[in-house]
Amino acid sequence: MNCLFAKAAIAIILAVASLHTASAQKNTLGTSWSLSGIGVTYERHTSDNTFAQLAVQAEMGEMFIGRTPYSGLSAAFTWNHIFAQVESRGGTPVLFYAGPGLAAGASKDLNGPRGLYFGLKGRVGMMCVFERGINISVSLAPTLGIQLTKGDETFITRTYRNGLLQSVLPEIGISYRF
């Protein structure tokens, strides 16, 4: 009975939330999917032309191809600027955006050891903004970073190659505006 009540409450909350107009909704919460990992995203639209995005992701690229049994973990922040907007035939706004940011995490690098990394992150993409509070986006989000690993008696720094590989692996995002 409690489960049925909880499902009904969630349905009511989602129905009420979908009644708001898209311009009044400044926050989104969603997921991101790519060959390099799976994540959770939060966006805060600070104006009509800018939004901040915070993403936490399980770095699973090396796990998907069988090089490690463990996923890594990363966090990234980007400050995105909407530089163009068009409407589809059905009247759905399509936004084009790009922005700089920062990223940090711990994961196994491409053909390399497991370690900590940090660096500059970029994001460029497009987003469809649907009437019912759903956004669907496709973006590229490379990281130009340095990885820190433990050697025999010292720490070793090297280029974080998985971050560069992310510049050709598209990321698909699905989020809900509230």
Cα–Cα distance for residue pair 85/82, rounded to 1 Å: 8
Residue by residue, DSSP assigns 7-56 as HHHHHHHHHHHTTS-GGG--EEEEEEEETTEEEEEEEEE-SSSEEEEEEE
Mean pLDDT throughout 70-88? 94
Report DSSP state, residue 92: -
Mean pLDDT throughout 104-114? 85
Report DSSP state, residue 109: P
Count of domains in the chain? 1
pLDDT of residue 22: 43
pLDDT of residue 8: 53
Quick check: 113 pLDDT over 50? yes
User: Comparing C-alpha atoms, which of 173, 174, 96 is closest to residue 132?
Assistant: 174
Pure H helices in 45-124:
61-64
CATH of the domain at 143: 2.40.160.20
pLDDT tens for 141-169 read: 999 999 999 888 888 899 888 888 877 88
Q: Are 89 and 52 in contact (CB under 8 A)?
A: no
Q: pLDDT band for 124, please (50, 70, 90 cuts).
A: very high
* Residue 144 belongs to domain spanning: 2-177
